[in-house]
Amino acid sequence: MMALAAVSPAFADTTAVLAFWNNSKDQPNLDWIGVSIAETIRESLGSRGLLVLDRDETEDAVHRLGLRSRTPLSEASVMKIGDVTDAEQVIFGTFEFAPEDNARAAGLSGSLKISARVLDRRKMHLSPEFTESGALEDLATLQAHLAWRALAMLAPRLAPPESEFRSVRAPIRLDAEENYVRGLLARDPAQKERFFLQAARLDPRFSHPCYQLGQIHYRRKEYKEAADWLQKIPPEDPHYREGQFLLGLALYQSGDFSGAQKEFQMIAAVVPIGEIWNNLAAAESRRNLPQAVDDFRKAAEGDPADPLYQFNLGYALWKKGDFAAAAENFRRVLNHDPEDTMATLLLGRCLKQQGYHAPADERLSALERLKTVYEERAYWQLKSVLGKSQ
């Protein structure tokens, strides 16, 4: 995979990229290449401002339609996938590997031909086929050129000169890319980790496996190890802001509230969404900073129906001694979930005008609730819709 600069989406239509199917004769072990091609195109388009569905969403659509993954699909099936995913454009294609005669047994070298097409569901138009050919060892270059051509076809105004487009990508070792994609495809968690570790070892410039390994350690609650991997993700990586979000959570859970605050502040400057304001405010609250109340309020104002935001704002107001306002927030929480025992307890404290007294109220400290899901794409989709209506 190639590392690309993450920018703010500026193209309202949604694009689905399907795994390219393997047309090679007697080479089923190369199916990973089709996934690699799709991943590169997906990341390339997203990095230039297009809204692109992730791999899990397209794979889910394929399974729901009863289709087989990474096998040839008819144009009708591609259209159905576009319907199910509500994607205006669908990119799909094939690849074919021809090993050199003296390498047929090992399959280590040979030529690769990649063919792609774009289905535009709005215009009911299927593009002519466009192809890339070259040595397997040059897979990264072939994918980059194919991605640039797809971008130029879908959104010409967003496509830079090809030389500029390719200059921001460091070619990744073929074996590192193979291990990374095999990690994505593996079902066994231990096997996934082994593939990602091998990819990271084979090419230290390759930041994609760092993001995956950060996720693995975070799920295990190994927060220091997660942070170590996530801190290796550079700004040009397409997973950078997702990595920042997870890094902020890992630092928070490991007690580095200052570090967590810094990560969430950087994301808020670009993507000012509720989960970011909430987690930023939680880190500020743990540091007893006064701006925590205002940032919790930004999260609550963005989604007044979310009880987590209401609880956190109420908690911050209660600690501040604003009992009447805090009580209103806790009532909203209990209207949503009458069984929330902590909201019930704090509402009672508000009604009695009993404030927070450390260390006597140790059980009432550190009650901030975090958001653990990052919904950046929903933000850009909404922003695109609002931009169209103006």
Task: Give the residue carrying structure tokens 């930041």.
Answer: 207
Of 123, 143, 169, which marks where a domain is finished? Answer: 169
pTM for this entry: 0.89
Asked if residue 390 belongs to a domain, the reply is no
Indicate the number of domains in the chain.
3
Asked if residue 307 belongs to a domain, the reply is yes
CB 213 within 8 A of CB 193: yes
Cα 111 to Cα 34, 114, 133, 138, 172: the distances in Å are: 15, 10, 7, 9, 18
CB 44 within 8 A of CB 4: yes
Cβ–Cβ contacts within 10 Å for residue 140, how many?
Answer: 20
Q: What is d(CA 119, CA 140) in angstroms, rounded to the nearest whole number?
A: 24
C-alpha torsion 259→265→270→271, nearest 10: 100
Q: What is d(CA 96, CA 88) in angstroms, rounded to the nearest whole number?
A: 27
Q: What is d(CA 217, CA 191) in angstroms, rounded to the nearest whole number?
A: 14
Residues 240 and 327 in one domain: no
> What letter does residue 41 receive in the DSSP assignment?
H
Residues 350 and 238 in one domain: no
Q: What is d(CA 42, CA 169) in angstroms, rounded to the nearest whole number?
A: 15
Residues 246 and 181 in one domain: yes
Residues 100 and 129 in one domain: yes
pLDDT at 165 (0 to 100)? 67
Residues 198 and 162 in one domain: no
Q: What is d(CA 307, CA 327) in angstroms, rounded to the nearest whole number?
A: 13
CB 199 within 8 A of CB 208: yes
Short-list 319, 320, 297, 324, CA closest to 310: 297
CB 246 within 8 A of CB 255: no
Report strand pairing: 110-120 vs 89-99.
antiparallel
Of 220, 255, 290, which marks where a domain is finished? Answer: 255
Cβ–Cβ contacts within 10 Å for residue 59, how many?
Answer: 16
**Spans of the chain, pLDDT less than 70:** 1-12, 69-71, 102-108, 165-170, 384-390
Asked if residue 44 belongs to a domain, the reply is yes
Q: What is the residue-wise DSSP string for 253-271? A: HTT-HHHHHHHHHHHHTT-
Residues 204-226: b if buried by 16+ CB within 10 A, e if exposed: eebbbbbbbbbbbbbeeebbebb
CB 350 within 8 A of CB 327: yes
Residues 135 and 20 in one domain: yes
Q: Please state whether the peptide bond connecting residue 359 to the residue before it is cis, i.e. omega within 30 degrees of 0.
A: yes
CB 14 within 8 A of CB 27: no
Cβ–Cβ contacts within 10 Å for residue 73, how many?
Answer: 22
Q: What type of residue is 219? A: R
Residues 281 and 214 in one domain: no
Residues 163 and 278 in one domain: no
Asked if residue 3 belongs to a domain, the reply is no
Asked if residue 162 belongs to a domain, the reply is yes
Task: Give the residue carrying structure tokens 């922003």.
Answer: 383
Residues 24 and 144 in one domain: yes
Cβ–Cβ contacts within 10 Å for residue 348, how many?
Answer: 12
Asked if residue 206 belongs to a domain, the reply is yes
Q: What type of residue is 191? A: Q
Does the CA dihedral 155-160-163-167 come out positive or negative?
negative
Residues 218 and 84 in one domain: no
Asked if residue 389 belongs to a domain, the reply is no
Residues 165 and 247 in one domain: no
Provide the domain limits for residue 216: 177-255
Residues 61 and 141 in one domain: yes
Of 144, 169, 194, which marks where a domain is finished? Answer: 169
Asked if residue 386 belongs to a domain, the reply is no
Q: What CATH number is given to the structural domain containing 188? A: 1.25.40.10
CB 242 within 8 A of CB 211: yes
Q: What type of residue is 315? A: Y
pLDDT at 6 (0 to 100)? 46
Q: What type of residue is 120? A: D
Q: What type of residue is 234? A: P
Condensed to tens digits (0 to 9), the pLDDT of residues 301-331 reads 999 999 999 999 999 999 999 999 999 999 9
